[in-house]
Amino acid sequence: MATPSFSIILSLLLIIGVGISQSEARAFFVFGDSLVDSGNNNYLATTARADSPPYGIDYPTRRATGRFSNGYNIPDIISQQIGSSESPLPYLSPSLTGQRLLVGANFASAGIGILNDTGVQFINIIRMPQQLDYFRQYQRKVSGLIGEASTQRLVNQALVLMTLGGNDFVINYFLVPNSARSRQFSIPDYVPFLIREYRKILMTVYNLGGRRVIVTGTGPLGCVPAELAQRSRNGECSPELQQAAALFNPQLMQMLQGLNRELGSNVFIAANTQQMHTNFITNPQAYGFITSKVACCGQGPYNGLGLCTPLSNLCPNRDLYAFWDPFHPSEKANKIIVQQIMSGTTEFMNPMNLSTILAMDSEA
């Protein structure tokens, strides 16, 4: 009985090993919101920033970097897993020049959504049309360095991460009673509208050269500390927001499968982040957390009100908390999510996980 399990382990090691060696030169592009923003908003006049303590308290520099995390965020951890020399820099960073451009770029901006009217209260944020324009601008810059043909090859072979949708519900629909979008749409009608708009964004990414695009769904929106603080009496998740996520994520998966059929290739990979989060939210102890309801940094019920600031309550051990602040997972939770992105079954990654993608592409 020992031989088959040894061969399985060996083949897994080979898959991961082959992937990493192949991907050392693989660029990585990131689009989306605060879950994946690595500091673009630091360069903008906006309140949607994570540029002061205690953000970054567990980052190697112990300084706030603009990541909405106590330490590394999801793009950082994916970069480590695929063997990149560094995590892609924010596109607005003055350091993103020369050879560092070949690592890729992070275009994400906290507060944005699928829709352009999501996050209007944050004024200066990089909405999706602008993120995509920056991607075009990036390709022109790199063409000046290595030529058009090599740039097209770099983009075609790159890994792309897309994280959108949560803010379209949390900020745009539910934040204010009788919001414009809630007057315009019921949730069962709003979700297909979002999916249609998201499809246009994804097709633009494809037309700009993206060929391996991981698309994350929303987490369990009604279970984050911010929503528990505002909507929960006994720690139960908000049913309205949970319904929204339960409708959105399966329709997103269907849309991605439809796009892949249309394109005749597995361009878009669905990451079931709702299930990834749900596992450690419903059973935090199994993942080494003491709570999935209370944020490490914040104030009020569940530390879920307002922002994480130097005046907030701050837990001494961030690894014991699933949530770092009222909305964002802790670094440890981000590592659990990336572990599923790398090696999760089709329940989590459809049609395949990132280790499989890396192995397949190394043979191409």
Tokens of 39: 């500091």
Q: Choose, from 277, 292, 325, 330, the residue flagged as catalytic.
A: 325
- Can you tell me the distance from the alpha carbon of 236 to that of 44, in angstroms, rounded to the nearest whole number? 36
Contact 92, 108 (CB under 8 A): no
Q: What is the DSSP letter of 236?
A: P
Q: What's the DSSP call for residue 170?
A: I
325 is catalytic: yes
End-to-end CA distance of the chain: 34
- Of 34, 109, 312, 355, the active-site residue reads 34
Q: Where are the alpha helices (DSSP H) in the chain?
A: 2-23, 74-81, 128-146, 148-156, 166-169, 180-184, 187-207, 225-231, 239-263, 273-282, 331-343, 354-363
| DSSP bridge pairs for 305 | 299
Contacts of residue 276, Cβ cutoff 8 Å, sequence gap at least 6: 219, 336, 337, 340, 344, 348
Give CA torsion, residues 6, 10, 13, 18, to 10 deg.
-170
Burial class (CB in 10 A: 0-12, 13-18, 19+), 11: exposed
Is 238 catalytic? The answer is no
Compute the distance between CA of residue 82 and CA of residue 28 in angstroms, rounded to an integer. 10
Closest CA to 135 of 167, 108, 113, 110: 108
Residue type, 54: P
Nearest to 215 by CA among 73, 351, 37, 48: 351
Catalytic residue at 34?
yes
Q: Which of 277, 312, 328, 330 is catalytic?
A: 328
* DSSP sequence for 171-226: IIIISSTT-HHHHH--HHHHHHHHHHHHHHHHHHHHHTT--SEEEE----GGGSHH
Active site residues: 34, 325, 328
